[in-house]
Amino acid sequence: LDDAAFLMRLKKDLGEMFGDIDLLSKRQYFPLSMKINETLISERVILIGDAAHQVHPLAGQGLNLGLRDVIEFDALLSS
């Protein structure tokens, strides 16, 4: 989208929530990505949470993935 179309869409989506909105600088974006280590378990070491996978902070998944890792690890220990 060009700047005018982007601004119109933003105002439409947000309504009056933030008052009058205007573009003050060039728009930028940062692609969201995720990287997972190839080896998560080695002898007496297991990687969980941020040590196991890198997620862009804006994706908002860091804590969720870390907690899921702990739950899965607990299930493995219990079996």
* pLDDT at res. 11: 92
- List pLDDT tens digits, range 4-23: 999 999 999 998 888 888 99
Looking at the structure, do residues 36 and 23 belong to the same domain, yes or no? no
Rg over CA atoms, the chain: 20
* pLDDT at res. 61: 76
Identify the three-state secondary structure at position 6: helix
Looking at the structure, do residues 16 and 43 belong to the same domain, yes or no? no
Domain with 15, as residue range(s), is: 1-29
Looking at the structure, do residues 79 and 52 belong to the same domain, yes or no? yes
* pLDDT at res. 58: 66
Q: How many domains does the chain have?
A: 2
Looking at the structure, do residues 21 and 58 belong to the same domain, yes or no? no
- List pLDDT tens digits, range 15-70: 888 888 899 999 888 777 778 788 888 999 999 888 888 877 766 777 888 899 99
Looking at the structure, do residues 38 and 48 belong to the same domain, yes or no? yes
- Read off the tokens for 58: 């804006």
Looking at the structure, do residues 40 and 73 belong to the same domain, yes or no? yes
Ordered DSSP codes for 43-66: TTEE--GGGTEEE-GGG--HHHHH
